[in-house]
Amino acid sequence: MPARLVNQRNLNRLLTRLRRGRKKIVFTNGVFDIIHRGHVEYLTKAASFGDVLIVGLNSDKSARRLKGKSRPVQSEKDRAVILAALRPVDYVVVFGEDTPDKLIARIRPDVLVKGADYAMNAIVGATLVRSYGGRVRRIRLTAGRSTSKLLKKLT
C-alpha cells in the first residue's frame, strides 16, 4: 500500500504524528469516481485551508448504495491510487459507511470541507467539528463539471 493510502488500522498512528507536528488537518470526502477538472479545483482549494488534506473515499459498496448499481465506474483501489497521486491530496482513507460520520469523529479535523451544493446544516459532521472549535468551509463547485455529466457525454 503506498504511503499516502492509509488503512483504518494505521490511521490513529498517522493522526498522532500529525498532531505532534501541530499540523492543521483538513478533511473532505466523496466517491471521486472519474477525476475531472472540478475535482482538482475543489481539492486544491480544500488543501489551501490547512497543512494536510485527508480525503475520505467511499468504498465500492457505499458508492453503489449512494450512486446506484452502475457506479462506481472505477474500483475503490483505482480511485484511491488516482486521488493519492494528486498534488493537493496528502492522504486517502477508504470508508465503508454511507456517511463519513465515524471517520470525522475519529480524525477530528481542524477544517471540514464540502461543496457549496450542500447547505451548511446538511453537512455531515459539521456540528461535531464546530463543537470542538473546528471550522466548516464550503467550496463553490466548478460550473458544468461533474462525473454524472461526463458519464452522460460518454453514452
The domain segmentation of the chain, as residue ranges, is 8-154
Question: How many C-beta atoms surround the C-beta of residue 3 within 10 A?
Answer: 9
The pLDDT of residue 70: 86
pTM surpassing 0.85? Answer: yes
- pLDDT score of 149 more than 70: no
Q: Does domain 8-154 have CATH number 3.40.50.620?
A: yes
